[in-house]
Amino acid sequence: MKPLLLIDVDGPLNPFAAPSAPAGFTAHEMRPAGWGFPSPLRVLLDPRHGAELRGLSRWYEPVWATTWEDRANAWIGPRLGLPWLPYVQWPPDALAWAPAGTYWKTPAVVEYAAGRPFAWVDDEIGDPDRAWVRGHHPGAALLSRIDPSVGLVREDFVRLEEWGRARQG
């Protein structure tokens, strides 16, 4: 069974903290249903990320691990040329049961992985999350913090490919 590749949108795919669109990125105005934002969201996407993620599907089972949840399939995936992907559905009380010092997504990611090896790309991952995963997840895990002003870069995809390939044993 392939490892999971858990993909956050805002930060890794949408470098929202960039002062302007990085080279290769296109700005999209989106208004996902049910979010209640008074104005559209500006989302920066690079179509090269779609090709990179499709390539990684040789080594991984990709999964959305984003607050966009299934909306990522409607709004992000098509713009990157991705197929429909499963997604982590966050528990409504995720903030309440996250251990002190960890990112609120971390326990839900470990629960979703259910012991399977996984790589996770997110802009909020830190050392407390890595330590918590080591102590609560029996499988291999690669947690990659992505700079939200840059997004995923080629070196990230190379590291993900090497890690995923090494798990194909």
The string of pLDDT tens digits covering residues 114-160 is 999 999 999 999 999 999 999 999 999 999 999 999 999 999 999 99
Tell me the pTM. Answer: 0.94
Average pLDDT over residues 98-127: 95
- Of 100, 162, 64, 67, the C-alpha closest to 142 is 162
Fold of 4-166: Rossmann fold (3.40.50)
- In this prediction, residue 169 carries a pLDDT of 63
The structure tokens listed for 6 are 């858990």
The structure tokens listed for 92 are 């409504």
> Lowest mean pLDDT: which of 4-8, 39-43, 48-52, 160-164?
39-43
Q: Which amino acid is at 7?
A: I
In three-state form (DSSP H/G/I as H, E/B as E, the rest C), the secondary structure along the chain is CCCEEEECCECCCECCCCCCCCCCCEEEEECCCCCCCCCCEEEEECHHHHHHHHHHCCCCEEEECCCCCCHHHHHCHHHHCCCCCCECCCCCCHHHHCCCCCCCCHHHHHHHHCCCCEEEEECCCCHHHHHHHHHHCCCCEEEEECCCCCCCCHHHHHHHHHHHHHCCC
Q: What is the pLDDT of residues 3-40, one digit of tens each?
A: 999 999 999 999 999 999 999 999 998 876 676 767 78
Residue 77 pLDDT exceeds 70: yes
The CA-to-CA distance between both ends of the chain, in Å, stands at 10
- In this prediction, residue 31 carries a pLDDT of 77
